[in-house]
Amino acid sequence: MTKIKRLKRIQTIIAAAPVLAAISACSSSSSNPANNVSVVDSAGIQIVTNEDHGWGEITPWTLTQEPKLSIGEFDGEEEYQLFRVVGALKTDEGNIVVANAGSFELRIYDENGLHIRSSGREGGGPGEFERMATMRRYHGDSLLTVEFGVPGKYSVFSQTGDFGRSSPTAPPNAGFLFAFLVGSTNDGRLLINATAQPTMDMGQGVTRLPTTVLSVNPNGENLDTIGTFPSMEFYRGDTPMSVGQVPFGLSLVNESYENGVVIGTTETYELRVFDIDSGLTKIVRKSHVPVVVEPHHIEANKAERRGRLERLPQQFREAQEELLDEIPFTEFFPAFTAAHVDRVGNIWVQDYEIPGDEQKRFMVFNPEGILLGPVTMPMDLQVFEIGNDYVLGRMSDDLDIEHVIMYGLNKWTDTNEGE
């Protein structure tokens, strides 16, 4: 059983903590003793350090016990049968738009879940879809759909499903292995992750593919680089088939945020906020004790991966079975695994899911980077959008039928009894 050693890195962070604390104490800063938060300005970059788990005297936010809305049926009308839902959001009028990649459509439902209309079909023409990957809110009152591939394609629709325009996600000659949408800025520029084609001189062992985060004008041209960051950890052995993603490996987490992007590389609990025009503006940190990957985590992961191999052709299955014993495991789980920015500017950072966890946990930071506290959600809820008073996502039932689910979000006050 091989493990990747990151202990030296963590010891360095721990050893540096007293020094950082001393620097913070001597710097021009503001603090919140109740929540043990320090805010320091360093060369124009604001550094926010959170030392506890939040909420304090504030009553924690919670989801409603039952969903407020559920769309999706096993044996109903076609408009209510969902397959490969890749996005959902709530419009300004209160309708729900669902990106149903299985039928190559945007489907629009009213606030009660009744179908209003559908837009799109399979094809490569205007307003048509071939490999729909995601749907996001676009600046103003528009929607943005993105298709897999290089250069890929994005399309702009109104919130009522009317097609506006489409363009390549990135220039076709940019030389990327893939380019994937992160989101968009307030002024309509696209933010994409661009990962280059791996080269043979990268060597054997564990490495992290570099990903460049770019801003692109709405016409798909004029790339501006925000920065290049390490993304997923992968392993390369001594044969062409011995290549795979490292189990419990690090990754790149980023999400569009105001006029830029928030980025984390997951080895420590740190988020960096970049403005497209002015660069790095803020660093948000939270105290974090790394969780050790135990032998039972490794065995459970191998068993789950062996189950997936049974669906592969024999020649690929044998190579992947050998890789199961060859590929190393990490020493520690990543600090977190995803981030969402809600409609009012709070950053929701999802804890890494440890095998055996029964709920997802998100740590919520306000727009200033100060930790508010944790919010738990059902483990099988894939979050698409978080509003001021709702969480919208996808779940599958015991029959593997997909549903778009909306939970209410209780932000308790002295006069709010909750739901």
Residue 250 above 50 pLDDT? Answer: yes
Q: Where along the chain do its domains lie?
A: 3-82+169-410
Task: Please name the helix (run of DSSP H) or strand (run of DSSP E) that holds residue 311, with its range, or none.
Answer: none
Of 335, 310, 419, residue with least CA distance to 61: 419
Of 165, 262, 268, residue with least CA distance to 218: 165
Residue 263 above 60 pLDDT? Answer: yes
Report in angstroms the alpha-carbon separations of 344 from 96, 366, 385, 387, 390.
Answer: 19, 9, 12, 7, 12
- The model carries a pTM of 0.86
Residue 41 above 80 pLDDT? Answer: yes
Higher model confidence: residue 28 or residue 400?
A: 400
Dihedral Cα 28, 32, 33, 38, nearest 10 deg: -50
Please give the DSSP secondary-structure letter assigned to residue 60: P
Mean pLDDT (whole number) for 254-265: 93
Give the span between the Cα atoms of 33 and 23, in whole angstroms: 17
Residue 114 above 80 pLDDT? Answer: yes
Other Cβ atoms less than 10 A from the Cβ of 346: the count is 17
Task: Please name the helix (run of DSSP H) or strand (run of DSSP E) that holds residue 299, with its range, or none.
Answer: helix 295-309
Mean pLDDT of the chain: 84
**The predicted structure's pLDDT at residue 108:** 98
Mean pLDDT (whole number) for 72-81: 92
CB 210 within 8 A of CB 196: yes
Confidence of residue 29 (pLDDT cuts 50, 70, 90): very low
Residue 7 above 50 pLDDT? Answer: no
**The predicted structure's pLDDT at residue 307:** 84
Confidence of residue 174 (pLDDT cuts 50, 70, 90): low
Residue 274 above 90 pLDDT? Answer: yes
**The predicted structure's pLDDT at residue 308:** 83
**What is the distance between the terminal CA atoms of the chain, rounded to a whole angstrom?**
48
Report in angstroms the alpha-carbon separations of 397 from 66, 67, 325.
Answer: 14, 14, 34
